[in-house]
Structure 1
């Protein structure tokens, strides 16, 4: 195994290792970039699309003192928290790193970055980074306090995408744009960051929106339990975006029964005309949510065995099922959005459920 950087010849006690082959080492990202064309050619013929060089399920050294690493994709770099496996598209280098202000996405991104440096015994370098990040946060907080209408005055909506589909952002671009005009939107895609956010007080978020049904898998039981606690304690949990389109009926029914202790059932999947239910708790007064359409057509997954006052929209032909439900759960709420085609009216339903 190589013990010195193949580009500059430097030999150090701690070299960065290529995440694909685990044998090539470098003194740093710059040399790794310079050597990429040569190194890629060495194994590109044996690397199949979607696969990576090395052992399947490759895990990196678990060092509690280092919680950041750098992901390189060609010449583009971005900062990530946690750890990940190497893939055909990314080379993962061990080590410390941080993103610039543009990379982390503003104030809330800096807050997450600070949390990523949380260690029982941070190194001297990490302490310096922590101090620097805290300085940036203080400056941003001061600027936010001085500016009227800043993002700090907006509520926060947490999107949880545990199996994020590549077309989600494009398909829901209009929905996300409208949501971001009303709230600070934070998205998490990994179990660790999801649990970290759900461990906060329910008052931190106007709503937690599940964008896909992956949470119903057994490996995400811890997240399921956190969601139930979040709603029971006073938060709002919404099953929306691609959740209804990708959910399997039997798994959905089981999740409602076993996790939420509800008798809700997956029902019809069809297009129909729906009218706003005047008895719904969400529609207690006409002025509370004035933008909710009084009637519109949508193709949706309906739920049955819900309470009449929880059905935001009801079918014009008198069916007891509903494509949009918001039910009181403990001190909080559990919501369902069954629309699979991103109708304009459904955007207003989501905003109303989120309370923004």
Structure 2
């Protein structure tokens, strides 16, 4: 049933082509590139006001030239929207810039933690009112990534600590 599929906006620096994997089978996805003027993140937000999630794939949203996009995304999250920082985000960002962005734009204490390899586990309570997403999300997976610190367990879909 097509209407049961959530709508997810994907914001990236460049095209990710097939790189968004299985999400395209579980959700209606629309992608905008920060550097491509034909379809901008702002345009996608205007075209899809009832979007269920925004997936930010890389660090461009933290750049001052994209402050207007960052402000819209923060406002969307403040109104109950789901924002996912993933993909290449942690490998393309500066920890110092991330900390400043979290503090100034989001008013959050989130900071970069250590880079490590770990198995992460899905935290069902953090997903919130999107039960139709759970069937498409891996219960656990092994990754090497920058882990965040000062993040409440209720704000993280995946954690390296079993909850």
- TM-score band (shorter)? 0.7 to 0.9
The total of aligned residue pairs comes to 158
- Equivalents in 2 of 1:256, 1:180: separation in Å? 28
Quick check: 1:246 aligned with 2:97?
no
- Equivalents in 2 of 1:201, 1:292: separation in Å? 23
The equivalences for 1:83-162 within 5 A come to 149=1, 151=2, 154-161=5-12
Q: Cα distance, 1:291 vs. partner?
A: 5.8
- Which secondary structure state, in structure 2, belongs to the residue aligned with residue 262 of structure 1? coil
1:188 corresponds, among 21, 32, 53, to 32
The one of the two structures with greater contact order (alpha-carbon pairs below 8 A, sep at least 6) is 2
- Equivalents in 1 of 2:63, 2:112: separation in Å? 17
The equivalences for 1:21-60 within 5 A come to none
The two structures have a TM-score, normalised by structure 2, of 0.78
Q: Cα distance, 1:310 vs. partner?
A: 2.8
Q: 1:311 to 1:209 in 2, by over 3 A?
A: closer
Quick check: 1:301 aligned with 2:152?
no
Cα deviations by residue, 1:2-56 (Å, 9 ceiling, x for unpaired): xxxxxxxxxxxxxxxxxxxxxxxxxxxxxxxxxxxxxxxxxxxxxxxxxxxxxxx
The two structures have a TM-score, normalised by structure 1, of 0.39
Give the corresponding residue for 1:261: 107
2:66 corresponds, among 211, 220, 223, to 220
Q: Cα distance, 1:227 vs. partner?
A: 0.6
CA RMSD, 1 decimal? 3.1
Q: 1:313 to 1:160 in 2, by over 3 A?
A: closer
* Runs of 5+ consecutive residues of structure 1 not aligned to the other structure: 1-148, 319-356
Give the corresponding residue for 2:83: 237
Give the corresponding residue for 1:136: none
- Equivalents in 2 of 1:288, 1:154: separation in Å? 8
